[in-house]
Chains A and B, each alone.
Chain A
Amino acid sequence: MPAYSVKVSLPSEDKRWKIVNGTMRRHGYSRNSLIETLHTVQKSFGFLDHESLQFVAQSLRVPLSKALGVATFYHFFSLKPPGEHACVICLGTACYIKGAGQLLAETQSSLGIKPGETTSDGRVSLMSARCVGSCSFAPVALFDGEVAGKLSSQEMQTRLQRWQQP
């Protein structure tokens, strides 16, 4: 891949931009590294916003529309800031057969939000996953990335309440 000298200045002093820039530099600012770079942005900032998309698009010389297209195409990328805690309910087939749909419905009504949303106090984000690959312990949910298996409604509620208490 050819190296380009077009230098895009970092949006701010925030050190995380250097990490993002590092990923692009490692790939020689190649356009192909768009997804890799967006992964780094999401890992560093928690989500993708207009500023970061613009910075990445300019640095890699791809149209902003393409960067946005990629960011919205893949489920893994989030365009909204995440809540303090994240609860991901797995809706894979094994989990579904073992009642994950019910679990999700209950959680939705108890938190008052839909998957992909965050509670108004910013404490809990609710998400659903296609399959986290822990099918042996179905139904499964991830609480801040930690897998909890053979989950009952009660266990679910207890864990969520723990997060919601100040």
Chain B
Amino acid sequence: MTPEQLSQMASDETELQQGVQHRLNVCMAAGCLSLGSDTLKSALQKAVSDRQESCQVKGVGCMGLCSRGTLVSLEPAGALYQGVTASDAAEIVEHLAGPPVGRLESSRNTPFFKHQVSVVLENSGRIDPERIEEYVAAEGYQALTQALTEMTPSQVIEQISISGLRGRGGAGYPTGLKWGTVAKAPGPLKYVICNADEGDPGAFMDRSVLESDPHRVLEGMIIAGYAVGASRGYIYVRAEYPLAIARLTTAIRQAKHLGVLDREICNTQFSFDIELRLGAGAFVCGEETALIASIEGGRGAPRPRPPYPAQSGLFGAPTLINNVETFGNVPAIIRKGGEWYAGMGTKKSKGTKVFALTGKINCTGLIEIPMGMTLREIIFDVGGGVPEGRKFKAVQTGGPSGGCIPEQLLDMPVDYESLAQVGSIMGSGGMIVMDDTSCMVDVARYFMEFCMTESCGKCIPCRDGTVQMYDLLTKISEGKAARGDLAMLEELCDLVKNTSLCGLGQSAPNPVLSTLRYFRDEYLSHIDERRCPAGVCACSAPVETRS
């Protein structure tokens, strides 16, 4: 596959797409699929052939506004339909030309869409993830040919460094720096790993990217392989994501067939192969050394660092590990240049970030926004605020490693440093909004239960500390605790945070610490008055006493 052949393929596909008068894009990502979008797609196809319209019915990836599924978009007219079911198919097809079906119409002119900037999600909801031709027509694999034929590996790394891209898995380590370290590490054999073990509950960004635009991740990985001098890549993906696995498998097969993966990529000397590895349901495997142990076929137990995987990783070889979203940014950065990417975001956090908005919020779904937008804008403008007229209480970011951010801090810009400063973390991008019906002690207990069960058991602070903290939190939520227990809890938080082996244990106290910091009065109500202000916990005293 030469660059000329690739652009020929792109123009053929574009011509093909322009050949049809109308196009109906049906969301076939996991969310809408669970609402029966596959039946809807068949119904639309039938309606189109019944009326003999010149209309293509296409399955596409996630359009973002999952709460209003099933979503269907009409091109080139631009209408967006929400809450569509198979019974609406005939009506939609009748209105292909003329005015759109009013009762199903959803506007793209809402804050939900207007404030978004798509980089990683640029093809989501627009292309058919199961056809490589469409990805190519959307400038796919252009960055790869550009990198292989016009750039040296160090020039690729330079662009990534200039872009200011930081690891999107949560910790925010500068990607260019990481690539540089692996590139400099000696050794004939190196590996690239894509961490698609999206374990944070309440987060589905990686899943959506893999389901909606799998080639993008492959392209990012191949470019990374070229830049660091690796010849083999692994995608470690959760077994709980069958659709993502199926689409990745298809994508890998197509990429090999096209000649952009495997041997002599784009007729150059560079060879790179990608294999899938399935996770088996262990949260700790999101930690890089545990992930490596799991790919090697063992229990996913982390090991002390250094040596970092960049020096000694998979099978002892230098290994580059990045998250799905990080790789998803790479093709766009190479295509448009590092400077372009660095033009978005804040001083220290560049570019965009994908978030999954869930919980007590009107527009649940997937969004991509420039770094630096405030939490208030994200929750109340993009997300449409808290439903049922209830009061906002906190937003939880970063999953079990993150914290709960209260109302008074909502005007803070979202970037790595600001979130860390208030005791939370960026994390992979789950944002769970809670209203006044949630009890913060109960939420802290929920996350501690999670960490307790997911602790791999290798180091004592995490293995035993999480159990002790969970017991204390249970005691508090049941209204059986004394002030001394709170002091003990704080002491344990400090101990576990500072002495655990890996990120899981080190960050396990975060939900407790952040709720203690901002919602201490709720803890005290449970302890001193034996009541739960939100009425969630079964405290000793009856709930009626609160009025």
Contacts and interface: CB of A to CB of B under 8 A. Distances in A.
Contact of A32 (B31, B282, B295, B365): B295
Interface string A54-80: 000000001000100110011111000
B270 interface: no
A39 B278 contact: yes
B207 A133 contact: yes
A46 B68 CA distance: 36
Contacts of B295: 32
Given A35-B280, A147-B34, A135 B202 contact: yes
A136 interface: yes
B34 A39 contact: no
Interface stretch (B182-190, B193-201, B222-230, B342-350): B193-201
A149 B35 contact: yes
Given A93-B432, A93-B446, A34 B298 contact: yes
Contacts of A38: 280
A66 B299 CA distance: 8
A113 interface: no
B359 A32 contact: no
Contacts of A126: none
A10 interface: no
B512 interface: no
A137 interface: yes
A137 B358 CA distance: 9
Nearest to A91: B201
A129 B297 contact: no
B358 A32 contact: no
Contacts of A95: 201
A96 B280 contact: no
Contacts of B356: 135
Nearest to B241: A133
Contact of A136 (B33, B240, B365): B365
Contacts of B278: 35-36, 39
A75 B285 CA distance: 12
Contact of A76 (B33, B202, B281, B359): B281
Contact of A148 (B34, B198, B277, B396): B34
A16 to B, nearest CB: 18
Given A36-B278, A135-B204, A135-B356, A94 B66 contact: no
B297 A33 contact: yes
A129 B34 contact: no
B466 to A, nearest CB: 15
Interface string A1-44: 00000000000000000000000000000111111101100000
Contact of B297 (A31, A77, A93, A149): A31
A132 B298 contact: no
Contacts of A92: 201-202
A98 interface: yes
Contacts of A73: 282, 299-300, 456
A74 B31 CA distance: 26
Interface in A117-154: 129-138, 146-149
B451 to A, nearest CB: 12
A131 B364 contact: no
A136 B30 CA distance: 11
A136 B63 CA distance: 13
A136 B279 CA distance: 23
Given A35-B294, A77-B280, A133-B241, A94 B34 contact: no
Given A70-B297, A132-B240, A93 B399 contact: yes
Contacts of A132: 240
B280 A76 contact: yes
B432 A94 contact: yes
Nearest to A101: B446
Contacts of B282: 73-75
Contact of A75 (B204, B281, B297): B281
16 contacts: A32-B296, A35-B278, A73-B300, A74-B281, A75-B280, A75-B281, A92-B201, A129-B240, A130-B201, A130-B281, A133-B198, A134-B30, A135-B356, A135-B430, A136-B69, A138-B358
Given A32-B295, A94-B432, A131-B201, 7 more contacts: A73-B300, A73-B456, A74-B281, A93-B396, A130-B201, A133-B198, A147-B33
Interface of B: 30-31, 33-35, 66-67, 69, 198-204, 207, 239-241, 277-283, 294-300, 356, 358-360, 364-365, 396, 399, 430, 432, 434, 438, 443, 446-447, 450, 454, 456
Interface of A: 30-36, 38-39, 62, 66, 69-70, 73-77, 91-98, 129-138, 146-149
